[in-house]
């Protein structure tokens, strides 16, 4: 994962997804193809990368008016593959997935006003309800809300605070490619991609080139990029003053449902040019220039701005809010220079860079960063780094605004609140403020033999007004900090080839497969001590269509009356999608023992619909907790459980193999994920609190689990076959959230046939039984749909799978294996009421050496 660093500004409309756009814009503007490609004289292979990163934001100035941190959390996964299609032509593809959750500022306001508002810290789908209030014009002390006459005591404070919002989990997915062709002294690269999230989609294209001259001591590189983005959000009435607006921040007092859909677009056009000069055998210098033009909807539709208008009451002002409104054009310029020096005496590398940023919004920014790469022997490299950043504020930024210098009377304001004056452009987004930032971190990498590199990094970042170069920051109310941790696995297929790697572990007909179908785990063992294998597994599963009770389909009225215990159901799942990414690391310390480590990354989304025939909502009938009928659905994503396995060989011959697997699943997946629901019982002690998301959308089990299995495989001529018995035994009766998933038992058998030396087909049958969930959530949870109740999980399932296994037997990609399988449900016998299963797709890649 690329290090997330502060930018002069962030143009994404979503406050909690700002770095998503940073990542996307960087991908479009950095033009990765502009970097020199390695010179290759023959077809060699390529590389595979797998990265995981965790961004955790926190801190913030606390007081009696604000007790919530900026607790944004981002889990990011990236998988990349590069293949040399010829000695000069290279293709690279990347997949990136980010999942966001946490609290972000809605607006900035005088603290005196938030004092009287019990909902000043609220959910993204609720209202802060800072109904226009009277505050002291000079000291910003408040006398309460819009009640006339006031009944609240005066609060003496001139503090400014962020009004915070809690954001439900959301996921962004990005896919991109790059095709590069290299001549002896030049290269040309073309790339493109797409980034998708619920309310912000982008498509981009890049073209870049490189020219080496002066005996390859000088390199000139340049490129262009184009990004087209679409914003599509439902924006509700002002959460501070409940006044409806149009899509661009204007006033629409007659809008009937107090909300409006923002559907707009923006374009980004970029160009870059860089010059790299080799100064001597130990040092290089690089200078670059970048330009980016943004146009269209550049505002943030989730941010609001607080305004004060003086009253004719001496020293008093009226408070109201409007949505963020920025110019519809922006021109950005970046100049940078870098120096790299190899210090032979220390066998180390020093990197120093400086960049200056300027735009026509009034922001000027300076960035200084330095790093030191120090090999310490044995393939280890330690790289500490430090970075300082400072920027001035945008011309239209202020924590809050004075709307008018002309005093107004309450008689003028109260009937005409939607017509109160505002400037042409305004924003209180602290990312457009004046501030400084200091960060430092370290990366540790280890290069193993045969082209495998493992890397881990950590960075800590402090954003503070007082750190601004020359002083004049916005104020400490916007201070926060974050840390970023990341891990990277890089497999250089070319190095594997050079080192004699890429050994094909398959046995049987002409070296072909005794591997099981893609959906079968732990089916294969490395046969020789010292062998190593890396792999990647992807699984997609979908539920949708009919609702089942046991083996029978049921209608909405039956669900309403029977699926939610002794209360009527209000909602039901429309469909659910699950994506699982798993990294396989496998090592054979002996001929009879294999050890495996498998970290997992999950991504799930569920759409909800209102049940026909559901009665009006009764707070007591739904336990006081409810997901709004128009909430649409939910998303979750992040680190899942981590599995550790030992495979023990019991019997092996040329045609038959039997081994035992004993594994443990560590509860690294979060089982306490909550979303913004609707608490309709105002007398409840849980009123206003987020609710647990459905059991099936938590990221792990939350319990330590035992994973035993027994696997047999056989082969003869073109035929292969096998069977496996496996189970999941929960070793705890409940997890930290109060429940435990049911135990699982599965039996599967398959047969395969080699169509060609490199390709085989398989068919298998699967029987699975899973118990219902034990216990239930130990906190507020929605109780309005079948998925909210533990008894509606588990059952008995029969499936059939159809698969293909492909392997490369020679060349630069020797040893690579790719398998794909579709598993089709045949029969379901579910516990309680559940949505019908529609099938699962498994894709696995593996490389042994």
User: DSSP letters along 31-83, please?
Assistant: -GGGSPPPP-SS---EEEEEEEEEEEEE----BTTB------EEEEEEEEEEE
In a domain, 8, yes or no: no
Residue 448 phi/psi, 5-degree rounding, is -90, 170
Helix (H, G, I), strand (E, B) or coil at 578: strand
- Residue 614: per-residue pLDDT: 86
Helix H or strand E encompassing 725: strand 719-730
In a domain, 30, yes or no: yes
In a domain, 163, yes or no: yes
Q: Please check whether residues 397 and 539 belong to one and the same domain.
A: no
Q: Please check whether residues 508 and 475 belong to one and the same domain.
A: no
Contact predicate 70/62, CB 8 Å: no
- The 8 Å CB, 24+ separation contacts for 744-751 are 744/768, 744/769, 744/770, 744/771, 745/769, 745/770, 747/723, 748/520, 748/723, 748/724, 749/721, 749/722, 749/723, 749/724, 750/516, 750/517, 750/520, 750/721, 750/722, 750/723, 750/801, 751/719, 751/720, 751/721
Tokens describing residue 417:
């609140």
Domain final position from 460, 494, 528? 494
The CATH number that applies at residue 487 is 2.40.160
Q: Please check whether residues 528 and 657 belong to one and the same domain.
A: yes
User: What total number of domains does the chain contain?
Assistant: 2
In a domain, 454, yes or no: yes
Residue 112 phi/psi, 5-degree rounding, is -60, -30
Q: Name the pairing type of β-strands 759-770 and 744-754.
A: antiparallel
Tokens describing residue 162:
């962020």
Classify residue 210 as left (phi > 0), alpha (psi -120 to 50) or beta: beta
Q: Is the whole model's pTM more than 0.85, yes or no? A: no
Q: Please check whether residues 297 and 431 belong to one and the same domain.
A: yes
Contact predicate 286/274, CB 8 Å: yes
Cα separation, 281 vs 1, in Å, equals 31
In a domain, 365, yes or no: yes
- Residue 618: per-residue pLDDT: 58
Least Cα distance to 476 among 402, 400, 399, 401 occurs for 399
Cα separation, 762 vs 737, in Å, equals 41
Q: Could you say which residues of the chain have pLDDT below 50?
A: 1-43, 115-132, 137-156, 238-258, 497-513, 622-625, 629-630, 679-681
Helix (H, G, I), strand (E, B) or coil at 736: coil
Contact predicate 773/695, CB 8 Å: yes
Helix (H, G, I), strand (E, B) or coil at 307: strand
The CATH number that applies at residue 664 is 2.40.128.130
Q: Please check whether residues 325 and 362 belong to one and the same domain.
A: yes
Q: Please check whether residues 470 and 542 belong to one and the same domain.
A: no
Q: Please check whether residues 256 and 402 belong to one and the same domain.
A: yes
Q: What is the CA radius of gyration of the chain?
A: 30
Structural domain span for residue 766: 504-848
Helix (H, G, I), strand (E, B) or coil at 431: helix
Q: Please check whether residues 444 and 534 belong to one and the same domain.
A: no
- Residue 130: per-residue pLDDT: 40
Q: Name the pairing type of β-strands 283-296 and 329-343.
A: antiparallel
pLDDT per position as a tens digit, 526-562: 888 888 888 899 999 999 989 999 999 999 999 999 9
Number of H helices, E strands in the chain: 5, 42
Domain final position from 450, 471, 494? 494
Q: Please check whether residues 737 and 781 belong to one and the same domain.
A: yes
Q: Please check whether residues 346 and 395 belong to one and the same domain.
A: yes
- Residue 294: per-residue pLDDT: 97
DSSP state of 670: -
Q: Name the pairing type of β-strands 705-716 and 739-740.
A: unpaired
Q: Please check whether residues 516 and 402 belong to one and the same domain.
A: no
- Residue 845: per-residue pLDDT: 87
In a domain, 138, yes or no: yes
Q: What angle do CA 147, 153, 158 make, to 5 degrees?
A: 100
In a domain, 4, yes or no: no
Domain final position from 450, 470, 494? 494
In this structure, the chain runs to a length of 849
DSSP state of 392: P
Contact predicate 1/78, CB 8 Å: yes
Q: What angle do CA 635, 640, 644 make, to 5 degrees?
A: 165
With b meaning 16 or more CB within 10 Å and e meaning fewer, what string describes 81-114? bbbbeeebebebbbbbbbbbbbbbbbbbbbbbbb
Least Cα distance to 317 among 330, 305, 307 occurs for 307
Q: Please check whether residues 471 and 538 belong to one and the same domain.
A: no
In a domain, 768, yes or no: yes
Tokens 């913004």 sit on residue: 676
């Amino acid at each position: 994962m690329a290090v997330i660093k502060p930018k002069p500004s962030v143009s994404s409309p979503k406050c909690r997804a700002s770095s998503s756009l940073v990542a996307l814009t960087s991908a479009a503007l950095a033009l990765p193809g502009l970097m020199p490609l390695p010179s290759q004289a023959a077809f060699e292979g390529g590389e595979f990368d797998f990265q995981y990163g965790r961004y955790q934001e926190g801190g913030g100035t606390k007081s009696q008016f604000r007790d919530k941190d900026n607790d944004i959390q981002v889990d990011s996964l990236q998988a990349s593959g590069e293949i040399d299609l010829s000695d000069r032509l290279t293709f690279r593809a990347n997949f990136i997935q980010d999942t966001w959750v946490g609290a972000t500022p809605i607006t900035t306001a005088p603290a005196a006003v938030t004092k009287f508002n019990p909902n000043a810290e609220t959910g993204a789908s609720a209202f802060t309800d800072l109904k226009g209030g009277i505050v002291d014009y000079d000291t910003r002390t408040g006398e309460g809300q819009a009640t006339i006459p006031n009944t609240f005591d005066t609060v003496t404070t001139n503090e400014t605070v962020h009004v915070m919002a809690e954001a439900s989990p959301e996921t962004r997915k990005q896919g991109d490619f790059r095709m590069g062709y290299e001549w002896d002294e030049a290269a040309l690269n073309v790339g493109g991609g797409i980034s998708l999230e619920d309310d912000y989609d982008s498509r981009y294209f890049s073209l870049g080139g490189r020219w080496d001259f002066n005996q390859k001591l000088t390199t000139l590189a340049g490129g262009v990029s184009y990004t087209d983005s679409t914003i599509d959000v439902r924006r509700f009435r002002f959460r501070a003053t409940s006044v409806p607006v149009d899509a661009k921040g204007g006033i629409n007092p007659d809008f009937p449902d107090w909300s409006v859909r923002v559907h707009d677009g923006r374009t980004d056009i970029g160009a870059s040019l860089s010059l790299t000069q080799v100064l001597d055998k130990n040092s290089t210098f690089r200078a670059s220039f970048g330009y980016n033009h943004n146009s269209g909807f550049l505002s943030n539709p989730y941010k609001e701005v607080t305004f004060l208008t003086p009253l004719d009451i001496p020293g008093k002002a009226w408070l109201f809010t409007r949505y963020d409104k920025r110019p519809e054009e922006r021109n950005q310029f970046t100049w940078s220079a870098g120096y790299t020096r190899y210090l032979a005496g220390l066998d180390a590398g020093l990197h120093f860079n400086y960049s200056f940023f300027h735009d026509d919004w009034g922001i000027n920014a300076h960035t200084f960063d330095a790093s030191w790469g120090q090999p310490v022997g044995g393939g280890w490299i330690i790289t500490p780094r430090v970075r300082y950043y400072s920027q001035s504020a945008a011309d239209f930024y202020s924590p809050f605004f004075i709307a008018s210098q002309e005093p107004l009377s309450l008689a003028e304001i109260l009937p005409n609140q939607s017509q109160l004056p505002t400037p042409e452009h305004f924003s209180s987004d602290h990312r457009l403020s004046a501030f400084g930032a200091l960060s430092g971190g370290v990366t540790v990498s280890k290069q193993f033999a045969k082209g495998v590199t493992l890397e881990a990094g950590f960075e800590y970042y402090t954003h503070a007004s007082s750190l601004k170069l020359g002083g004049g920051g916005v104020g400490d109310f916007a201070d926060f900090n974050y840390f970023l941790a990341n891990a990277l696995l890089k497999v250089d297929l070319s190095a594997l080839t050079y080192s004699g790697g890429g050994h094909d572990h398959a046995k049987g007909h002409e070296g072909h497969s005794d591997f099981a179908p893609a959906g079968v785990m732990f089916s294969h063992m490395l046969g020789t001590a010292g062998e190593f294998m890396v792999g990647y597994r992807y699984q997609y599963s979908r539920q949708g269509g009919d609702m089942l009770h046991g083996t029978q389909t049921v209608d909405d009225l039956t669900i309403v009356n029977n699926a939610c215990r002794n209360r009527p159901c209000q909602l039901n799942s429309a469909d659910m999608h699950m994506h699982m990414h798993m990294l396989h690391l496998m090592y054979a310390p002996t001929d009879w023992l294999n050890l495996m480590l498998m970290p997992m990354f999950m991504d799930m989304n569920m759409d909800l619909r209102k049940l026909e025939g559901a009665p009006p909502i009764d707070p007591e009938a739904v336990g006081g907790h409810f997901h709004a009928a128009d909430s649409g659905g939910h998303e979750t994503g992040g680190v899942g459980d981590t599995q550790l396995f030992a495979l023990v060989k019991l019997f092996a011959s040329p045609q038959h193999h039997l081994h035992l697997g004993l594994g443990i699943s560590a509860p690294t997946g979060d089982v306490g994920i909550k979303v913004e629901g609707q608490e309709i019982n105002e007398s409840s002690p849980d009123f206003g609190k987020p609710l647990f998301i459905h059991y099936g959308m938590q990221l792990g089990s939350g319990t330590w689990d035992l994973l035993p299995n027994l696997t047999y495989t056989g082969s003869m001529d073109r035929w292969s076959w096998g069977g496996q018995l496996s189970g999941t035994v929960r070793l705890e009766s409940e997890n930290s959230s109060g429940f435990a998933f049911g135990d699982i038992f599965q039996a599967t058998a398959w047969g395969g046939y080699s169509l060609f030396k490199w390709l085989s087909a398989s068919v298998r049958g699967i029987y699975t039984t899973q118990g219902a969930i034990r216990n239930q959530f130990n906190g507020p949870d929605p109780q309005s749909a079948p998925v909210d109740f533990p008894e509606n999980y588990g059952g008995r399932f029969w499936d059939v799978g159809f698969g293909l296994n492909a392997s490369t037997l020679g060349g630069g990609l020797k040893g690579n294996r790719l398998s794909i399988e579709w598993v089709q449900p045949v029969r379901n016998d579910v516990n309680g009421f559940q949505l019908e299963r529609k099938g699962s797709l498994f894709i696995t890649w593996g490389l042994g050496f």
